[in-house]
Amino acid sequence: MLRHESSVSSHDLVNIDPGVAKSIQHLEDIIRQKKRIEQDRSHTRETLQQALESLNMNGCSVEDLGLDFTLPGFPNIELKKGGKDVPVTIHNLEEYLRLVVYWTLNEGVSRQFESFREGFESVFPLHHLQYFYPEEVV
């Protein structure tokens, strides 16, 4: 409503789809672990690769999850061009999560939200909402 689309994050998914939000949080944990491993300068190339391969979600590696760059639950919606042919790996997981959150909270609902915004504005001018913090609007 306040046109702060850039401020939404994966934490906002809990209000929309708690199941997807939980999976996203697990995968974000993997990304945080990956960054810590990559910053550890004590690794050799081999031990770095082994450490990255050890990262998993409930015992499955990212590659074994069978994800591709399509919106979860909507295999016909590609998150990027040719996305159905791009497997998600430990190396592109961060991009995948960023796109899932963007499509779920912005792109995927943009037409519906614009209609909602227009209807809301017919009753209450949206520019008056600038006086409120997002938490107050909720």
Identify whether 110 is part of a domain: no
Q: Total structural domains in the chain?
A: 1
Q: 125, 122, 115, 78: which is closest to 100 by C-alpha?
A: 78
pLDDT, one tens digit per residue, over 39-64 is: 988 888 888 888 888 898 888 999 99
> For position 52, what pLDDT does the model report?
86
Model confidence, pTM: 0.76
Structural domain of residue 57, as residue ranges? 10-105
> For position 69, what pLDDT does the model report?
97
> For position 7, what pLDDT does the model report?
63
Residue 17, by phi and psi: left (phi above 0), alpha (psi -120 to 50) or beta? Answer: beta
Identify whether 122 is part of a domain: no
Identify whether 5 is part of a domain: no
